[in-house]
Amino acid sequence: IPVDDFDLVIFGATGDLAHRKILPGLFRRFVAGQIPETSQIIGAARTQQDDAQFRDAVAAAIVEHAGVKKNDPRLVQFLKLLGYVAIDATGQGGWKELAGRMRADAIHAFYFSVAPSLFGDLAERLASHGMAHGDSRIVVEKPFGRDLASARALNQTLAQHFDEDQVYRIDHYLGKETVQNLMAVRFANILFEPLWNAQYVDHVQITVAETVGVVGRGSYYDKSGAIRDMVQNHMMQLLCLIAMEPPYHFDPDAVRDEKLKVIRALEPVEPADIVRGQYEGDDGAGSYLDDVGDPDSRTESYIAMKVRISNWRWQGTPFYLRTGKRLRARTSEIAITFKEPPHSIFDDTGAPKANELVIRLQPNEGMNLKVMIKEPGPGGMRLVQVPLDMSFADALGAEGQDMPDAYERLIMDVIRGNQTLFMRGDEVEAAWAWTDPIIDSWEDSKRRPEPYDAGSSGPEEALRLMHRDNRRWREIR
């Protein structure tokens, strides 16, 4: 379904995110027929260049990241939508010209793909040049602050010129098809929901493992670490979608109200329930310390933690979270381990094992439910656990092969005016309120993260976090 005619301004249009994700994503939506040909996509950045130079640079980025040929007629068509205005974010240069290019009868969206320190300047100039009217939307990227105080300040700055329903805070995990699917699995089936609580769930594991290191973005990453880069946002969103109560309706505030309740119910995390790691080098690549160029850095590239949610539904069911760089494999999944049946009618050799539901977010998106059946053969009632395994690509055929990238989906939602998959200001603040004491406590402790080998499953210490509870992590592979 095509969206309405729009003018989208991308501040920071010469940057990496715009080239790698935003513009290739818009191109794919254009090819899919979702973007009206009258729409405008206006790049705005400090670099002095004209429309033609900007189009050339975008064409090269799209060739590289969207896998099309330079002379593909669809690319040639798409480039006609693009324009460029050189802008001085902290001065006056370029703003009049930008305002002059915006059409009165189109939807206006402004994408702040710039450092958060510029959000205030941009918002103020949009307002003083008449572009912050009631129907314009702004899109802001993570990191949204680096602690509660800075996030609050950012929210206040934006609120001076825009209402909350005009602000789209991106967490690109919410744009992933399989992440949205968590809600479909939970709330469009009757099968899981009755068991989805502490009475039946032994524990939950959420894993986001990456093989990449931080080389090339060390200066950002070293100031953030895994807690700010992944836990406060992406992992938190996954946790919320798994743990929240059913919203009364799939609409922005209903969904975000329920997520907020989960975040507010998170217990403070004890230092003993957290393991931080830092990767060492191997033959092929440098260590974390090499990658960030600081031999004394105490920033973590890995974190594992045991999280508890203090509410009626989850009291007593721990959630184990782990994420890290340069691990054995790139895999994101959520595993729900149910309790064992309360009584076995079979003898010891055939005692049932706990059911497990694994939702694979990436790659090989799908679901695997482990169930007990009888092992075939005349040897008596012997039980065996087998997978009910489904890959979404196989189950959905052609449609499942072509999953849109998170950014494509989210940008179209901005134009449609649908905030369901964006974070509300209070949600972001609540997430920082929970992570701040964790960060403060280890900064005070001055402890170094545990070393782990690149290409491994993370530090040994993280295994103990589970073993002590008589549980074990799923293998990363």
CB of 325 to ligand BG6, least distance (A): 7
* Residue 244 or 361 having the CB closest to ligand BG6: 361
Residues with Cβ < 8 Å from 137, sequence gap 6 or more? 107, 108, 109, 110, 166, 167, 168, 414, 417
CB of 208 to ligand BG6, least distance (A): 7
Q: Report d(CA 185, CA 447) in Å as an integer.
A: 41
81: buried, middle or exposed (CB in 10 Å: 19+, 13-18, 0-12)? Answer: buried
* Residue 80 or 330 having the CB closest to ligand BG6: 330
Q: What strand order describes the sheet that includes 450-453?
A: 383-391, 366-374, 356-362, 331-338, 201-209, 319-324, 302-307, 274-280, 450-453
Which one of the listed residues 234, 249, 343, 467 is annotated catalytic? 234
142 among annotated binding-site residues: yes
Alpha-carbon distance values, 385 to 256, 349, 350, 352, 439 (Å): 37, 13, 10, 8, 41
Omega cis (within 30) before 143: yes
370 among annotated binding-site residues: no
Residues found near ligand BG6 in the complex (CB under 6 A):
210, 229
* Residue 7 or 210 having the CB closest to ligand BG6: 210
Q: How many CA atoms lie within 13 A of 34 on its CB side?
A: 16
* Residue 229 or 273 having the CB closest to ligand BG6: 229
Residue nearest to ligand BG6 (CB): 229
CB of 65 to ligand BG6, least distance (A): 14
CB of 301 to ligand BG6, least distance (A): 10
Q: Are 85 and 45 in contact (CB under 8 A)?
A: no
Instruction: Extract the tokens encoding 129.
Output: 């040049």
280 among annotated binding-site residues: no
* Residue 229 or 408 having the CB closest to ligand BG6: 229
* Residue 16 or 443 having the CB closest to ligand BG6: 16
CB of 210 to ligand BG6, least distance (A): 5
CB of 201 to ligand BG6, least distance (A): 25
176 among annotated binding-site residues: yes
> Which residues face 319 on adjacent strands?
204, 307
Q: Report d(CA 431, CA 239) in Å as an integer.
A: 11
Alpha-carbon distance values, 169 to 143, 247, 354, 427 (Å): 10, 20, 39, 10
**Does 108 qualify as catalytic in the annotation?**
no
The residue with tokens 């919320």 is 240
259 among annotated binding-site residues: no
Q: Report d(CA 355, CA 358) in Å as an integer.
A: 10
Q: Which residues are catalytic?
A: 234
Which residues sit in the known binding site for substrate?
A: 172, 176, 210, 229, 325
Which residues sit in the known binding site?
A: 46, 142, 172, 176, 210, 229, 325
Which residues sit in the known binding site for NADP(+)?
A: 46, 142
